[in-house]
Amino acid sequence: MKRLLVANAKGGSGKTTLATNLAGLLAGRDVRTVLVDLDRQHSAARWLERRPRGFPKIAGWTPDDDRDEVEAFDPQWAIYDSPAGLHGKRLDRAMKRVDLIVVPLAPSVLDMDATVVFLEALAEYKTVRKGECPVALVANRVDPRTLAALELENFLAAYDLPVIAHLRAAQVYVQCAATGAPLFDLPRSRAEPEIDRWAPIRAWIGAHLR
Ligand SMILES: Nc1ncnc2c1ncn2[C@@H]1O[C@H](COP(=O)(O)OP(=O)(O)OP(=O)(O)O)[C@@H](O)[C@H]1O
Ligand SMILES: [Mg+2]
C-alpha cells in the first residue's frame, strides 16, 4: 500500500481539492483507494457522501487521533486529507503513516510564508531529509498572466522539490467539490483544459506506483 498525505499549514490552499481529485484519479484507474480524512471539518468525508452512485468506488475513513485502521480496507493507495495548521504531534502522527507528501499552495504571500514554515517542519523528519518520503509541490489557483504567478515561480524555483502541477483557478473545481465528482469522472468537455494540467501529477503518481 502507498500512503499519500496532502498537507500544508495554510488553510484554503487546496488540500481537500487535491486529495479528493487524487482519490478520484486513482479510483478511476481501478486502483483500490481509500480517502482518509484527518480534518475535523470532514470536508473530504462529506465529498464522498455526495459522490454519485455508479462512480468508481472510493472507500472513506475518518480515523481518530491514535488509531489508523486503513489497512482494513486493503487499499492499494490511501490518500490522506489533512487540516490547516497541521503541526506538532498531529504532524508527527501523520508522518509515521505516510510514504509521499503533496503540498499545494496558491500564488499569495500568505501561502508562500506558511509554506516556508511547513516545508521547514517537514525537513525535520529524517524520512524526508533522506528522500525516503518524497515531497512534491502543486501550484494551485495559478493565473499565469499575473505578477503573483511570477512571484510564485521564483519561490518554487528556490526549492529543490518537484513541482508536479500548475492548476488554474477554475470553476470546475468548485463543481467537483459540490458534486462529489472528481475532474476525471466529468465529461471531458467540462473537465478540459484543466484535466490536462494533471498530466505531471499522473506521471509522478505512476512513478511511485511500485
Ligand atoms: N484551483 C481551484 N480553482 C477554483 N477553486 C478552487 C481551486 N482550488 C480550491 N478551490 C476552492 O477553494 C476553496 C478552498 O479549497 P480547499 O477546500 O481544497 O482548501 P483546503 O486547503 O482543503 O482548505 P482547509 O484548510 O479549510 O481544509 C474550496 O471552496 C475549493 O472548492
Ligand atoms: Mg480541506
20 lines ligand 1 (CB under 6 A): no
86 CA → ligand 1 middle, Å: 16
Question: What DSSP letter does each residue of 18-64 carry, written as one string?
Answer: HHHHHHHHHHTTT--EEEEE--TT-HHHHHHHHSPTTSPP-EEE---
The answer to whether 40 and 115 are in contact (CB under 8 A) is no
Q: Which residue owns the Cα nearest ligand 1 atom 14? A: 12
Percent of the chain clearing pLDDT 70 (strictly above):
98
The residue range of the domain holding 121 is 2-207
For 202, the enclosing helix (H) or strand (E) is helix 199-207
Instruction: Give the chain's domain count.
Output: 1
Distance CA 1, CA 89 (A): 24
Mean pLDDT along residues 42-68: 88
Distance, first Cα to last Cα, the chain: 9
Render pLDDT for 28-45 as a digit per residue (tens, 0 to 9): 999 999 999 999 999 999
Query: pTM surpassing 0.85?
Result: yes
140 lines ligand 1 (CB under 6 A): yes
Cell of 33: 483507494
Residue 208 pLDDT class (50, 70, 90 cuts):
confident
C-alpha 56 chain-centroid distance: 19
Q: Which residue owns the Cα nearest ligand 1 atom 30? A: 174
pLDDT the model gives residue 73: 87
Question: What DSSP letter does each residue of 66-97 carry, written as one string?
Answer: S---GGGG--SEEEEE--TT--HHHHHHHHHH
- CATH assignment at residue 117: 3.40.50.300
User: By C-alpha distance, which of 163, 24, 181 is closest to 102?
Assistant: 163
167 lines ligand 1 (CB under 6 A): yes
User: By C-alpha distance, which of 49, 21, 16 is closest to 33?
Assistant: 21
